[in-house]
Structure 1
Amino acid sequence: MHVPTGSVSGTTTQDNGKYTIPNLRVGGPYSITFSYLGYKEQVVNNIFLTLGKTAEVNGTLTDSGETLDEIIISSSKNKIFNKDRTGSQTSISAVQLKILPTI
C-alpha cells in the first residue's frame, strides 16, 4: 500500500516464491503485507522506491497454528441456471428489434 495515497496493488508469487509488482509510484513510504490462508500475516513498513532501481523486499510466513474448517456451499434450485442453458442469451421483442440501431 502506498501510505500517502492509500492506493493498493497486489500480486501472487511465482512457483519459486519470487514476486513482482510493476508500475508503482516512485518514493513512498510503502507498507507491504505478506499473507496466505493458514499463515500469520507479516507487514513490512517504510519501504521507499527509487526510479530505475529494483527494490527487494523479502517476507517469511509462519504457520498460524489454526485449524481450517470445511466450507459447505449449497444452493436451492435456481430457474435462471440449468443444464439446458450453456451460454449467454438475450431475448429481443419485435418492437425492440425495430428500434435497435443497425449499420
Structure 2
Amino acid sequence: MSLANQAEINFIKRLKAESLLINQSKMTRRNKEAALVSQWQDDAIRVAWKSDMKRSKETMRYELVAANIELMNRRRQELKQLLDQDAEKYRQELASMGLTAHMDRI
C-alpha cells in the first residue's frame, strides 16, 4: 500500500471518528435540552398544583366560615321559635287560669 493511500485511509478514519463524536455531542446536547425542558415542565406543573391547592384551601376556608354563619343563623331561628312557643304556652296557661302577664313593648 502506498503512503498516499494510507494517509487517505487514515484521513477517512479520522473524519468518521470526528463525525461520530460530533453526532454524539449533538445527541448529548439534545438530551440535556430535553431534560431541561422536562424539568421546567415538571416544575411548572408542581407550581400550578401548589397554586390550585392553595386556592382550594382558601375556598374551603371561606365555605366553612359561610356554613358556620348559616348554621348559627338557623340555630338562632330555631331557638327563637322554641322561645316563642314556650311564651305562647305560658300565656295560654295563664289565660286558662284567668290571669295575664305584663309584657313590655319595646
Interval containing the TM-score (normalised by the shorter chain) = under 0.3
Instruction: Choose between structure 1 and 2 for higher RCO, CA contacts under 8 A separated by at least 6 residues.
Output: 1
**Structure with the greater alpha carbon radius of gyration:** 2
Could you state the TM-score of these two structures normalised by the residue count of structure 1?
0.14
Name the TM-score, length of structure 2 as normaliser: 0.14
Q: Give 1 or 2: higher strand fraction.
A: 1
Whichever structure has more helix as a proportion of its residues is 2
